[in-house]
Amino acid sequence: MSDPVRSRVVVHGRVQGVFFRDSARREAGARGVAGWIANRPDGAVEAVFEGDADAVRALVSWCREGPGSADVESVEESSEDPEGLTGFDVR
């Protein structure tokens, strides 16, 4: 396994109330990605994904579509230094 990477994403659009966070939690678990996801007051969803580079990239890519009931308008992504997170939290 390669060195872990960490990405922070902010997903804009109709992404609250459509099971985006729980779907992302399941996707992260399937890929072995740690981190967290939370609704923001501005209607966006923010998440941190940490793990294998390919798995994190796949999860960020998934966020560009989200679950079927979501309507993703844009995704902001930034890289951060990994913190050694374990597990995945829905906040």
Residue numbers annotated as active site: 21, 39
Classify 59 as helix, strand or coil. helix
Q: What share of the chain is helix, strand, coil (3-state, %, to 5)?
A: 25, 40, 35
Q: How far is CA 76 from the centre of its chain?
A: 11
